[in-house]
Amino acid sequence: MKKLIVGNWKMFTTTAEAELLVERVDAKVLPTHGSEVVFCPPATALENVKAKLNTLKHKQSYSLGIQNIYDQDEGPFTGEISAAQVKDLVNYAIVGHSERRRIFAERDTEIAKKVAACLRHNITPILCVGETLAEREAGHSKRVVVDQLTVDLGYMTAQELENIVIAYEPVWAIGTGNFAKPDDVREMIGVIRGHIEELYGEIHGAHVRVLYGGSVEPENARSYTRIAGCDGLLVGGASINYIKFSEIINLSHR
Ligand code: PEP
C-alpha cells in the first residue's frame, strides 16, 4: 500500500506563500516517490492551493485536507467551517489534533461528531490520538489512546473504517523536537490496531490506516515508515519547509 504523508501547515503561510510552497515541494519530489501526499494548508488558502496542485507535475499523488471541521452541516456557528461547505474542495480533514484538544478544549464527544460529519460528506477524517507527557509518565499511554478511540469512533460503522485514518501523535512529541522512539511507536500502533480489532473485528484492525506524527524530520522519517503497520506520517513543522518535506516524501517509500 502507498504511504500517506500528510503536511499540517497549522496557522502558517499566506495564500501566496502557500501556492509557492506546493510548487517548490513539487519541483523537488522524485517521480518515483510512490506516496500519497496530503497538503493541509490554512482554510484561507484551500481554493488557491487546489487550483495550483492541478498544474503541478506530480498532481496525481497530491490531495488536499482541511485542518479542522465543525460537527454540524450549517447553522449559527460564527467562524466555523462545515464538511458540507468543503466537500468539493478537500478529500481529508484533520480531526482532534492535540492543539485543538488543548487550546480550544475540544472533547472526545465533539470529536466523534466531527468524524461523523466528515464521513457524511465523503471526507476522510485523519483522527489524531495520543497521550500527554504526564499521562505517559504515569504509565497511562495505552489507556488514554484506547479511551480516545472508543469515544471518537462512537458513531462509526465497520464499513466506514476504510475511509478513516488514525494518527498516533503523542502530545509531548508535537513541535518539541522530542520525537518518539520507533519501538514505542510500533507498540502504540499495535495498541491502536488491537483496539480497532476488538471494536470491529480482526480484518479491520489489520487494514485501518495508521500514521505516526510528532517532530518528524528527514533524519527520522524512515525509522517510522519502515515499521510494519505504520502507513505513513503526519508532519507539522517540517511540512512548511519545502526542502525537508520533499525529502520526507522521497524517503518514505524506500
Ligand atoms: C502536527 O502538527 O501534527 C505535528 C506532528 O507537528 P510537528 O511535526 O511539528 O511535531
- For the Cβ of 213 lying below 6 angstroms from any atom of ligand 1, the answer is yes
- In the CATH scheme, what is the code of domain 3-251? 3.20.20.70
Active-site residue flag, 97: yes
- For the Cβ of 220 lying below 6 angstroms from any atom of ligand 1, the answer is no
Q: What pTM was estimated for this model as a whole? A: 0.97
Instruction: Give the separation between CA 43 and CA 1, rounded to whole angstroms.
Output: 29
**Percentage of the chain with pLDDT > 70?**
100
100-121 pLDDT, tens per residue?
999 999 999 999 999 999 999 9
Q: Which among 236, 225, 161, 215 is positioned nearest to 193, based on CA atoms?
A: 161
Q: Which among 162, 167, 148 is positioned nearest to 208, based on CA atoms?
A: 162
- Distance from the alpha carbon of residue 235 to the mean position of ligand 1, in angstroms: 5
- Distance from the alpha carbon of residue 96 to the mean position of ligand 1, in angstroms: 13
- For the Cβ of 235 lying below 6 angstroms from any atom of ligand 1, the answer is yes
